Amino acid sequence: MTRAELECELPLYPFRFKPIYKNYIWGGHKLANLFGRKNITTDTVAESWEVADHEHGESIVTNGPLRGNSLEMLLQRYPETLLGDEYLRRGKPKRFPLMFKHLDAMQNLSVQVHPNNAVCCELGIDEPEKVEAWVILDANVNSHYYAGFKKHCTPEQVQTAVQNGTITELLNPILANKGDCVLIKPGVVHALGEGVLAAEVAVTSDTTFRLFDWNRKDANGNSRELHVAEAIKAIDYNVGIICPQRSSKSLDANRETLVWCDEFKIDRWTTTSQMFLRNDNRCAIWTVVSGSASVIFTAGRRTAPMSHSGRDADPDGIEPLNRGDTLLIPAMASSIRWVSEGKEPLVMLSVSLL
């Protein structure tokens, strides 16, 4: 069967995935308490990987006729209809290009940095450089996150500060306000702070060099591994002070753009009724920040929703979403209608693959 025949087999539809939970030393309870997650089996959770195609975690579809299949399979079998022709002009990626996570920091995350492509190549790392962005979903009073240095530093100064245990004095603290968005490029030292719940969008890569871990130990009395030499090599010492992004309004009254970089665009959408959106042939990730929604979609064949057709195998349908729920909308989805179902305004984030 040719690729064209495969892609005509079944129109793609918005996908829900089973969250992949990661429990690190800094994890908390907000994913369970604020999102109402009932399937968490550990006392705390640090990360919920909502959309991921990585060796450390693979998203599995939980809805519609393709349930049980992996995101990797979707990419291999339906590249054009999933990602869009425009994106594929640069070539088919090995993995789905973006990861989307929720991070729940009951303690500070380690002070860390992601290497750029040149450093990855020099160190023999077979992953792309990691560009990421955080959107603050919730924060305790006086919680902070850290991005960049307060002032220009040299590698020697950073090395000395690590040895003296004073590296935190060099970091640029930013008061965490709900709704803030910060872009973290390769080479920027950063750490999410205690009491912060954030949505993280990142290029598919898990390469991180840990510079400092707040002198803590795990339940067995062990310290986590540091990568000081690699981190000092990976830091971009030409980066100035990092500040939260300034959102920009669009012609669409429901939308404001938080980040627009080479890899992705993040928009925030707000409505008290409903929004009808026609897809622009781009793959996008959507998540509910607050409120609840019904998502009515057509995959290009017909317009009758699943609940009216009575056919579970029909990819056109309705998906209910609550706070923290996430959908991956393929490029071929022809139209999406978001209906606010709760008393409070529906607020969502969309992450468009560029």
Residue showing tokens 């009575």: 310
| Cα 325–chain centre separation | 12
Helices and strands of the chain, counted as H and E runs: 9, 23
The pTM is what?
0.92
With a CB cutoff of 8 Å and minimum separation 6, the contacts of 156 are: none
Question: Class for domain 248-353, per CATH?
Answer: mainly beta
Q: Is domain 19-58+98-234 given the CATH code 3.30.450.20 in the classification?
A: no
Q: Hunting for tokens 């968490």 — which residue is that? A: 40
Q: Which pair of structure tokens corresponds to residue 252?
A: 């669409």
3-state SS, residue 220: coil
Closest C-alpha to 87, from 264, 235, 209, 228: 264
Domain ranges of the chain: 19-58+98-234, 248-353
CA distances from 65 to 7, 69, 249, 314, 353 (A): 14, 9, 38, 7, 24
DSSP secondary structure letter of residue 96: -
List the pLDDT tens digit at each of the 354 positions of the chain. 344 444 445 678 899 999 999 999 999 999 999 999 988 888 899 999 999 999 999 999 999 899 999 999 999 999 999 999 999 998 999 999 999 999 999 999 999 999 999 999 999 999 999 999 999 999 999 999 999 999 999 999 999 999 999 999 999 999 999 999 999 999 999 999 999 999 999 999 989 999 999 999 887 889 999 999 999 999 999 998 899 999 988 777 889 999 999 999 999 999 999 988 877 789 999 999 999 999 888 765 433 343 343 334 444 678 899 999 999 999 988 678 899 998 899 999 999 999
Topology match between the domains 19-58+98-234 and 248-353: yes
